[in-house]
């Protein structure tokens, strides 16, 4: 007979170390395979902190990623209680999800990403030029880590450079958990206003990029193209930029691992995987909701209840990884879930890996003596955002 679950708890959020998941995950993972939690407003739900259950949940046919059933595990004024916009496939299920996703999958394969490497390298080096011009004490987040992935995606879909900064501000606003409804409405209005100008102009003049190919394919109407473009923009700007910044911060504070990487650049691929596992910037995890009553991990999950996969905790599960709380860029056993799992696994995962690899390598080659310009404990963190990372990262180096 299965024991009744413990009383509901709130999602752990407090960290004693910026490089580790919230401290409260460990006792929950040790106590039970799935934990009863209380979502803001008191609605009941569940939390997964173990790797095996996470993989099972993210591929389970009885759980949905559709936007209208998802509840945020932390308090926020922003709740999306309706279906996703046409073309916004990340927040849908099959067959809608696969219908849209397959139209752009070919742009994000390993081969296509390899073809983009010269463009990525150019952007990286241009931003490093700007960093050098700014001089010691410059904010790496503002000049480098935020700019590189945003510029890459803008070039891939043909967004004019003059629009990039405002789009970055809108995406940042919508990713802030403390964002108010008026702030969100202003950001949505700004994003929608741009797309309402941009998409029709591009439909009249399709170019040689992702949007041009989608337009020439003739399968999407204007609203679907707007939803697709918004998905690509929001999916690329905030995630990779935070991971790029968080990886630099972590390597600077783990000098033995940075030295090992600088001595052997062949370790870069594995280092990126280990940083993804170790850091897992999607610190609120991935959520699904039950389409029906379902038995899972020894408990009955009722129809409509939300289950949150605590990705940072899952990627530190000692049942899956040896010495999981140690950063080891030479680690061979990866298999992390930082980029998701199943049909909703990150569409741009190969692109993200390439940007991270090129970015880390070029930065530390150009500035081998790079170091923080402030004490490590004074680096401000984005605790109140969907994606975790430094708000700013002042760095210095020897001229």
Give percent above pLDDT 70 in the chain.
Answer: 99
- Over residues 12-29, mean pLDDT: 94
pLDDT value of position 119: 97
Give residue for tokens 């760095």.
395
pLDDT of 320 above 60: yes
pLDDT tens-place string over residues 187-215? 999 999 999 999 999 999 999 999 999 99
pLDDT of 222 above 80: yes
pLDDT value of position 208: 92
- The C-alpha atoms of residue 213 and residue 102 are separated, in whole angstroms, by 13
pLDDT value of position 372: 98
The model's pTM is: 0.95
- The C-alpha atoms of residue 300 and residue 286 are separated, in whole angstroms, by 20
pLDDT of 1 above 50: no
pLDDT tens-place string over residues 255-287? 999 999 999 999 999 999 999 999 999 988 999
- The C-alpha atoms of residue 170 and residue 154 are separated, in whole angstroms, by 14
pLDDT band at 235 (very low <50, low <70, confident <90, very high): confident
Provide the residue ranges of all domains of the chain, joining segments of one domain with +.
25-396
- Over residues 112-123, mean pLDDT: 96
Which residues are within 8 A (CB) of 335 and not within 5 positions of it... i.e. 6 or more apart? 320
pLDDT band at 292 (very low <50, low <70, confident <90, very high): very high
pLDDT band at 5 (very low <50, low <70, confident <90, very high): low
pLDDT of 306 above 50: yes
pLDDT of 53 above 70: yes
Q: Rounded to whole angstroms, what are the CA distances from 377 to 18, 259, 276, 393?
A: 9, 22, 22, 11
Contacts made by residues 300-307, CB under 8 angstroms, sequence distance 24+: 301/46, 302/44, 304/69, 305/44, 305/45, 305/46, 306/39, 306/43, 306/45, 306/46, 306/69, 306/70, 306/71, 306/73, 307/34, 307/45, 307/46, 307/47, 307/48, 307/57, 307/63
- The C-alpha atoms of residue 236 and residue 219 are separated, in whole angstroms, by 23
- Over residues 23-49, mean pLDDT: 92
Q: Which residue has the higher pLDDT, 81 or 44?
A: 44
Q: How many residues does the chain have?
A: 399
- Over residues 341-363, mean pLDDT: 97
Q: What is the mean pLDDT of the chain?
A: 94
pLDDT of 322 above 90: yes
pLDDT of 4 above 60: no
Highest CATH level, class, for 25-396: mainly alpha
- Over residues 341-360, mean pLDDT: 97
Asked which of 70-84, 104-118, 164-178, 313-327 is least confident by mean pLDDT, the reply is 70-84
Q: What are phi and psi of 385, to 5 degrees?
A: -120, 160
């Amino acid at each position: 007979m299965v024991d009744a679950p413990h009383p509901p708890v709130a999602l752990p959020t407090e960290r004693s170390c910026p490089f580790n998941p919230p401290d409260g995950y460990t006792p929950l993972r040790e106590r039970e395979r799935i934990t009863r939690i209380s979502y803001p407003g008191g609605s009941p739900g569940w939390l997964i902190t173990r790797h095996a259950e996470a993989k099972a949940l993210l591929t389970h046919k009885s759980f949905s990623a559709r936007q209208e059933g998802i509840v945020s595990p932390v308090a926020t004024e922003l709740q999306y209680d309706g279906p996703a916009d046409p073309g916004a496939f990340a927040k849908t299920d099959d067959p809608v999800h696969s219908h849209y996703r397959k139209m752009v999958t070919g742009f994000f394969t390993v081969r296509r990403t390899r073809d983009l490497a010269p463009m990525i390298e150019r952007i990286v080096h241009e931003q490093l030029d700007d960093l050098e011009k700014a001089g010691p004490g410059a904010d790496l987040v503002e000049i480098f880590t935020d700019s590189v992935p945003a510029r890459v995606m803008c070039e891939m879909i043909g967004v004019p450079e003059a629009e990039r900064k405002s789009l970055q501000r809108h995406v940042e606003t919508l990713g802030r958990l403390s964002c108010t409804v008026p702030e969100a409405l202003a950001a949505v209005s700004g994003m929608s206003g741009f797309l309402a100008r941009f998409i029709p102009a591009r439909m009249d003049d399709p170019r040689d990029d992702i949007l041009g190919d989608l337009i020439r394919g003739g399968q999407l109407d204007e609203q679907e193209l707007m939803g697709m473009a918004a998905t690509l923009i929001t999916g690329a700007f905030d995630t990779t930029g935070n991971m790029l910044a968080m990886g630099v911060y972590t390597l600077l504070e783990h000098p033995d691992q940075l030295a090992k990487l600088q001595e052997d650049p062949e370790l870069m691929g594995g280092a990126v995987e280990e940083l993804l596992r170790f850091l897992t910037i999607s610190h609120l995890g991935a959520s699904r909701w039950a389409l029906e009553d379902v038995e899972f991990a020894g408990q009955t999950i009722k129809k409509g209840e939300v289950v949150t996969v605590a990705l940072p905790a899952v990627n530190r599960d000692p049942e899956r990884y040896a010495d999981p709380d140690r950063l080891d860029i030479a680690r061979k056993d990866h298999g992390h879930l930082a980029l998701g799992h199943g049909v909703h696994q990150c569409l741009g995962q190969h692109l993200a890996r390439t940007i991270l690899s090129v970015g880390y390598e070029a930065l530390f080659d150009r500035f081998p003596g790079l170091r923080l310009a402030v004490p490590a404990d004074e680096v401000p963190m984005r605790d109140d955002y969907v994606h975790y990372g430094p708000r700013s990262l002042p760095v210095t180096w020897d001229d």
